[in-house]
Amino acid sequence: KAGVTQTPRYLIKTRGQQVTLSCSPISGHRSVSWYQQTPGQGLQFLFEYFSETQRNKGNFPGRFSGRQFSNSRSEMNVSTLELGDSALYLCASSLNSGSGNTIYFGEGSWLTVV
Amino acid sequence: QQQVKQSPQSLIVQKGGISIINCAYENTAFDYFPWYQQFPGKGPALLIAIRPDVSEKKEGRFTISFNKSAKQFSLHIMDSQPGDSATYFCAASGGVTGGGNKLTFGTGTQLKVEL
């Protein structure tokens, strides 16, 4: 069974640009969530999608957005990139939404903003 | 507001020794406490998890001890091996308005197991 797949794995963007990251969850998983990992702030929750609806949102500005498709695939978008957006962006999936559902992480997309 | 505090930040243990990482939480609505292991260049991988109705859970060399009244939980790695060298994160979930699956992570512990 394939794990959580994220593309692209590495990318470099310029300040002010926008970026879209993609995530394919484990087959059968309907919940997809996104996390940002930085050395300074650690692992922080961005948002969760379940059945194409955003269930929760973390404390990030509106420049961070996401969506989920009918096949449970998800994308996140960051507009007007800032240097501080440089981070590892992790996608995670679980069978269902709700506390206690095991969350599996992908290997992440490394974003560098220059 | 940091809702899950983790210590120590780094830990060096001799091969065969016991590694202990501690976490404390504030939100009493949390009802699920997983531990994740992360190797460089990889995403976090679930190691073991516990619910607050259980005081201890053991899986192989890994044990979670949970103290609900103190709002603390810890990871014990018995017979630590060099292959255990990684960053360990405690996390908690639960109590989210409207449900949902959101993990609040500790700040991580870099474990190094020396020969």
How confident is the model at residue A101, as a pLDDT? 86
- Tell me: pLDDT of B99 over 70: no
The CA distance from A48 to the nearest CA of chain B, in Å, is: 7
How confident is the model at residue B47, as a pLDDT? 96
What is the count of residue pairs from A and B with beta carbons less than 8 Å apart? 79
User: Mutate which of A48, A57, A103, A109 to test chain B, going by most B C-beta atoms within 10 A?
Assistant: A103
CA distance B48 to B45: 9
B95 pLDDT band, cuts 50/70/90, is: confident
DSSP character at residue A31: E
| Residue A13: other Cβ atoms inside 10 A | 16
Q: Which residues in chain A are contacts of B98 at CB distance < 8 A? A: 55-56
How confident is the model at residue A2, as a pLDDT? 81
B2 pLDDT band, cuts 50/70/90, is: low
How confident is the model at residue B100, as a pLDDT? 77
**In 3D, which of A52, A56, A60 has the Cα closest to residue A84?**
A60
Average pLDDT over residues A74-95: 97
- Model pLDDT for residues A49-61, shown as the tens digit of each residue: 999 999 989 999 9
- Tell me: pLDDT of B77 over 60: yes
How confident is the model at residue B97, as a pLDDT? 66
The CA distance from B48 to the nearest CA of chain A, in Å, is: 10
CA distance A33 to A77: 13
Average pLDDT over residues A22-48: 96
> Cβ(B92)–Cβ(B103) under 8 Å?
yes
CA A79 to chain centre: 14
How confident is the model at residue A100, as a pLDDT? 84
Segments of A1-114 assigned E as strands: 5-7, 10-13, 19-24, 31-38, 42-50, 53-57, 64-68, 74-78, 87-94, 104-105, 109-113
